[in-house]
Structure 1
């Protein structure tokens, strides 16, 4: 447990993610990563509020959000929520019935809604762990998406953009196994279930390939992340002029169009 807490503390300090005086919104789903992050930040004494996006996935998100609400209530933590249906009028289930795979549209909408919830906070912390980041790095490399690659890291984005709340990743150097072990050891009420749509995603394919590689080359995921951190400064400098705006209201219209709804 000490390793996970110390790694999160050191990442916050060494990467200047936020300060003791900042108000931190924590993107939460009720899953292991975000709940561990929320728990550790609370233990370390930060001023945190849970921010939850409800995509509208029957039998999955409703269950995990119920666990999150119970956890926040028992720890007297404030919780803010916003749903796809509130903003766009449709759920992800309805969107997925028309547009497959659902993950691309979902990811954009989630970031947009989390940014909305994050207004008024100094930073939004998300529970992306080392495994997630290794997957993202490899996905962007394989797709030759250098701009997206440049924007990843402990602090997301290339430049500060008006209207975009700073997004940070305190779990950046903590592996998925370490997160799972921490959650089990302290008895967090979290869901370990995978999103039913994730199994069809490109990320799932990359995840499985990386897990196979890790099995024969222990530490491969960490080395991918360490390599990226070495080259990131040069990538950021090269891409600053091409940096785009954050996920905007246009993403809601795109989500609706893909669902067959006139925006």
Structure 2
């Protein structure tokens, strides 16, 4: 029985295999597109992963680019906002106006002792303190002509005051905004004028350097007038020239106008880098193009 049934089972298995094969081939013949789609799908599986990785990298790069542009745009908007807002704040707050005009809070060079002009190479200079008003004290430097350099060593304030009555002319120097009477370029000018045979008297307006008080146009003019009178009281008939630089030219012209009104004019007025008014002065600043139209000064 086993021998007879085995060929039948084998034949049955073969038929089943042929049937499945024929059904598969029949399905392929009946639906060739499905086979093509399947092959294309299998063929597309290879490069799919690298393409996805490249797309992800591009997305990350674009995201970083967008983030950088957002930050840059935010910074530009902040700068523009400040550029537009500051002029209105300046117009609404006179105190800010004064600070920006005077720049007396800028002390250059830093870390110098204004009581010791010799530290700046002025070994023939004496430091004074004068009091134009009860609550105001101003620091003054008096540099004698260079020909007295050796004689001036170790001398006190009284000797320097008496020296103003000598035959050498005197220059009252009124410096510009920012810095102090010990500024590097100012010290170099004192040396040049001293070498030419002049006494040089300079000072810091109230609120500048180590001078005490609150700066104002009236106060600065009064400080200059007080120093001029102090010099005149000690110099006799000696010549006095007034030299103003930058902002100091405004103080100098105010001072000379006051002196002419009381019929005691100086012997000469020297203006270095003068200006007609604050508005014209501000026009020369590169950052003031959009702001100049709202400046209240005339």
The normalised TM-score by structure 2 is: 0.27
Task: Compare relative contact order (CA 8 Å, sep 6+) and give the higher one, 1 or 2.
Answer: 1
**Structure of higher CA gyration radius:** 2
The normalised TM-score by structure 1 is: 0.30
